[in-house]
Amino acid sequence: MTEPVIYRTLTDGPGTLHGGASLILHTRQALDLVKGSSENVARGIPRVTGLIAFSRRLRVVLQAAAADDPTADWMLIRIEEAVGVAREHIIKALEQVEQLLTSKRNVVVTLRQSSAPVKVDFSFGMGSPYIYQIVYLLEDYDRLTAALLTAKHVALMAADAASHSIRDGKHYIRRVLELPSQWSYQSVSREDIRQNNQRAIRAMKWLAEVPQEVLEGTRRAEFAPRIITAATAETSKQDTAATTMDEPDEEMFPVGTEERDMKSVKVDKPTHRESR
């Protein structure tokens, strides 16, 4: 018989849930997009913005969006749109190469895998919906890269064509990862715009790029944080404290609260390089 749970008071509830997810990667190309890399001018290698740097920059965008900054809202919309474009491209390319790998009726081709895949651990934190959107992209890209390398290895695709497709897929994801670096914190809100005060005037260059429906707040990103203004911040804190939730409402935070970025990004180093 199950023992009843005895609460000290009627207001007690379950503690905060903690959790995360792991991503298994088989290719160096996908891992590069997690860690990022520095520019190497001598070798002609450009800087690669990784998921870790993306998450740090995204945190500031989310804080500004929660403070009713329309320029931050517009950046979140652009990120979500870029994710959709990247996903569509990678899935289409993956379907094409997988169809190629099964084109020989009596030849069963096994997808190449790393002898020592890398496990990347993520824990929930601020901006989780955006982080996990990228994680899903990386999963698809990792499989696409492995499939392309396999197709090259079994002579179903030319080496140049496979390399081009791998670089092309990485390009689409890099476009997403680099977007937050194109945004600058303006400390402006929709109330500043209504008042046409000095903050709004200083941010005019950035505000000019924002569509009218975003300026008005009638259009926001699907995973945009809840807007917390000075007038509602205290009420929101009280409501959050009085509500029993499965996990913290990561959309409910005022600017200046404790950093809740990707709390943990752990990469287990492989002992061997991936199959090529």
**Is 116 strand, coil or helix?**
coil
Long-range pairs of 45-49 with CB within 8 A, sequence gap ≥ 24:
48/174, 49/174, 49/177, 49/178, 49/181
Look at 83-87, 226-230, 260-264 and tell me which has the smallest mean pLDDT: 260-264
- pTM score of the predicted model: 0.77
pLDDT of residue 9: 55
Q: Which H or E element spans position 118?
A: strand 118-123
Averaged pLDDT, 132-161: 94
Long-range pairs of 36-39 with CB within 8 A, sequence gap ≥ 24:
36/177
Domain boundaries of the chain, sorted by first residue: 20-217+253-267
pLDDT tens string 2-33 = 555 555 555 566 666 666 778 899 999 999 99
pLDDT tens string 66-89 = 999 999 999 999 999 999 999 999
**Burial letters for 71-99: b for 16+ Cβ neighbours within 10 Å, e otherwise?**
bbbbbbbbbbebbeebbebbeebbeebbe
Averaged pLDDT, 35-46: 70
User: Which residue in the block uniquely carries the two structure tokens 């081009």?
Assistant: 164
